[in-house]
Amino acid sequence: MLNEIHKSLDQAYEEMVEIRRYLHQYPELSFEETKTAQYIANFYEELGIPYKTNVGGNGVIATLKGGKPGKTIALRADFDGLPIQDEKDVPYKSKVPGVMHACGHDGHTSVLLSLAKVIKEYQQELPGTIEFLHQHAEEYAPGGAKPIVESGAIDHVDAVFGTHLWATTPLGVLQTSKNAFMAGTDRFTITIKGKGGHGGYPHETKDAIVIGSNVMSQLQQITSRRLDPMDTAVVTVGVFEAGTAFNIIADQAKLVGTVRHFSQDVQEMIIEEMEKIIKGVCISNDADYEFDYVKGYPPLINNESEAELLLEAGEKVDGVTRAEEVAPVMAGEDFAYYTMEKPGTFFFTGAAKEGHVYPHHHPMFDLDERALPIAAKTLISAYFAYQDK
């Protein structure tokens, strides 16, 4: 039966592309995805598959109970866009100014909807139950996964699998990890409060730009000199805002950045070290400060047995040239909340578009749509493999 399903998914390729391109033209930002959620709900309504809306927010979960006994497995896809202007010159370019699907979530949704349509035809032969988990707000913490988990929507689920179409990995390549796969992602804001004044009288001021620059420089020493070299972390300042004119010394500076980590111990150490640095620099310059640290998504830790199952199942999928274990990446994913609660694994489906390889969250982002059926076939293969576990 699995081979027949794979063939049906290959035959559904044109519809997968059509769905993906429609969603690409009408993206919605995190927590604002009401029209997309309605589109998803309408799709299941037409299929005759029972579904629930407003799960943990804008989430939609459809349930397909097979005709044979078995386990209940959730397959997850996210569907929010990003506040980025689409700069591609393609017929399916975003029609929403300043918003685009720059991370492939339109493709994830297309994969899951198309898979549901195909599997519905095999419902009586299907062992167990599939929960088609359409999640909102992956891009912006606190995200959609956490409230979905807290709602109890996956309490009855035996395992959760999900994929990300990965635009920097070659088509046909599947990648995952048997342990830590994606980093915990935090955000911080540091506000330096000095004393402004005339550019010609620096001795009468407390230059927030100089103080902020000192803080930023010393923050880099956390990972290079204070973190165990065997651990992995990133401290990045992405925003430095200060000053109003060439001849005025700034009284305030704001630094905004991110911390990436793979363990709570490292996370807590970095927070402590950041506080010491900021406080020390400001004391030495007789300045005040505010330090706001927001803990975001936890590290995404795959379950080893499910990752092995995924790799073995993926190797048998037509169109897959390689299924491999890779080192963790420093990007984050709130799929982490699912694997904290249930067995499961998350994996990348290679979708690099030849001659158009732009990273995720880029205004020119696009993907090779031939990856869509590969992702769908791999997800359903993992489903059947877990039934036999």
Alpha-carbon distance 182 to 179, whole Å? 9
8 Å CB contact between 49 and 116? yes
Alpha-carbon span 227 to 85, nearest angstrom: 38
What is the DSSP pairing of strand 68-78 with strand 159-166? parallel
Cβ(154)–Cβ(56) under 8 Å? Answer: no
Q: Give the closest residue to 375 by CA, choosing from 307, 317, 293, 304.
A: 317
Sign of CA dihedral 138, 140, 141, 144: negative
For 268, the token pair is 């807590």
Distance CA 60, CA 284 (A): 53
Which residue type, as a one-letter code, is found at position 86? D
Q: Is the CB of residue 147 less than 8 Å from the CB of residue 56?
A: yes
d(CA 95, CA 154): 35
Cα–Cα distance for residue pair 325/175, rounded to 1 Å: 6
C-alpha gyration radius of the chain:
23
Residues catalogued as catalytic = 80, 138
